[in-house]
Structure 1
């Protein structure tokens, strides 16, 4: 797995890097602030970013929120703060795991695997939602086009068949044919 470490304390960055590399991970970037972390994640496209909360400049939760909103990588917060308010804010930001310092391999590796797994599941669900939205839009457009053709005396099955044949003969997606019918009808009005 490709990892970016965002931690303002050099010793902790070094320990975490060694721990991750011992488990076959590739640390592709390191950052000392939230702004550096966000830039490294955008540039390096890692699988996961380990993010401290309080760093100089842009804080880790703000950077984590941006990483999550942009869907760039799984985020594991690695911090000394265990207060409920920080945990809640991290969850609201989209963080996939939360580990408190001091940490060990038995804390880091499970958090990494769970975070990456959850991130991939989230990414797959987002793709599925996008596909379903596209299908729904196509369906609505085809229904409108069928309605227009039915005003010209065709029944529903004939209207759909005409759209289908037109799409096949012109090697054009059904959605585009339906859109053309709707547009032509609007221009006639």
Structure 2
């Protein structure tokens, strides 16, 4: 399946050139925008694997739009483009979470490999974020389970093992996770 890309640049010729390069390399350009607000809307609509975005644009610049896009998790990653090499822009690009930074005019030989690397890093980051989310949920569930066990021990005069067995039985009988049962018990008994 072709990777989905949104191109954001206020120069129509630049967008057309980038689109042509990407499509020749087998990417699916699913959207185009001319400013940061349009970029955010395109990302909400298409959830692209990568956004290739100019920094200097009218209304909402690429750095501010990138910050919003990354905050809302509506694109896999962002590759910023600019006509300027400026350390301040590079630092700001790092702060908003951009995966890459290219200076125009684009070198065709390095552009597609850079795009591929950015998409690969975006997938890695997504996978790590998902793992962190899963571990956080398990930790949160563990806290609720421990609290629910304590409440059951107190309310029903059970030892810890029997309280856990009761939670597990409720979970199986209710066909839901033990974490959900524990949350319910904490709400009900507190």
Q: TM-score surpassing 0.5?
A: yes
Give the 3-state SS of the residue equivalent to 1:17 in structure 2: helix
4+ residue runs of structure 1 moved beyond 3 angstroms? none
User: 1:124 matched to which residue of 2?
Assistant: 127
- In the alignment, is the contact (CA less than 8 A) between 1:7 and 1:31 conserved in 2? yes
CA distance in 2, matches of 1:8, 1:121: 30
After superposition, give the CA deviation of every residue in 1:54-86 in whole Å (9 maximum; x if it has no partner): 012211111111111111221111111111100
User: 1:45 matched to which residue of 2?
Assistant: 47
CA distance in 2, matches of 1:27, 1:112: 13
After superposition, give the CA deviation of every residue in 1:16-61 in whole Å (9 maximum; x if it has no partner): 1111111011222222222222222222222211111101221111
Q: Give the gaps of 5 or more residues in structure 1.
A: none
Name which one, 1 or 2, has greater alpha-carbon Rg: 1
User: 1:160 matched to which residue of 2?
Assistant: 164
Give the 3-state SS of the residue equivalent to 1:98 in structure 2: strand
CA distance in 2, matches of 1:159, 1:166: 11
TM-score (norm 1): 0.90
Trace 1:18-167 onto structure 2 (pairs within 5 A): 18-73=20-75, 74-151=77-154, 152-167=156-171
Give the 3-state SS of the residue equivalent to 1:99 in structure 2: strand
Q: Quick one: structure 1 residues 142 and 52, their matched pair in 2 at CA, closer, same or farther if it must change by over 3 Å? A: same
CA distance in 2, matches of 1:29, 1:169: 48
Give the 3-state SS of the residue equivalent to 2:138 in structure 1: helix
TM-score (norm 2): 0.90
